[in-house]
Amino acid sequence: MTLTNDGLWPEVSFEDRMSTVRFDIGERAHITVDSAVCGDCSTRECVVACPANLFVPTSDGGILFNYEQCFECGTCYMVCNREGAITWTYPDGGHGVVFKRT
């Protein structure tokens, strides 16, 4: 992902952006996505809205999701219009995102 900043500062890749965030990743996937349900979703609200960019469309029309670098914000379950597509819980105590300077 590149930014249109006219070369004012070094463009930062999405990977580098996420590497500024600390995650103490738990073993349990606290969010799961049922890719079969996503198969008939044409609006794909989660793809543009998830600030961590964790919803990746696959070539077979589904969604690939990885819970590991998640802000636990709630945006995805709020914008998704399909019942049953997203199962959302908090990570187990002490796991997940750890903010430092925000």
Partner 1 sequence: MADTTTGTTPLSATVATASAATFDVIVVGAGPAGSCAATVLARAGHRVALLERGAFPGAKNMYGGVIYPRILDRLHPQWWEQVPIQRWITRRSTMVMTETRALTIDFRSEAWGEPPYNGATAYRPDFDHWLADQAVAAGAHLLNATTAVGLLRDADQRIVGVRTDRPDGDLWASTVIACDGVNSFIAKEAGLHEELDPANYTLGVKETLALPRSVIEERFGVRDRHGVDIEILGGTSGVNGGGFLYTNLDTLAVGAVLKLPALAAQQTRPEEIIGRLKAHPAIAPLVEGGEIVEYSAHVIPEAGRSMMPTLTTDRLLVTGDAAAMCLAAGIWLEGVNFAMASGMAAGETVAEALASGDTSARGLGGYERRLRDSFVLADHDKLRRAPGLVLSDRVQHQYPEMITGVVERMFRVDNPEPKPGLRRILREERRAAGVRIRDLARDAWIGFRSFG
Give the interface with ligand SF4 as residue ranges (CB under 6 A): 31, 33, 37-38, 41, 44-46, 50-52, 54-55, 63, 70-76, 80, 82, 85-86
Selected range binding partner 1 among 34-42, 58-66, 91-99, rule: CB under 8 A: 91-99
CB of 57 to partner 1, least distance (A): 13
CB 35 within 8 A of CB 63: yes
Residue 14 has phi, psi (to 5 degrees) of -65, -35
Scan for tokens 């029309």, then name that residue. 61
CB of 7 to ligand SF4, least distance (A): 29
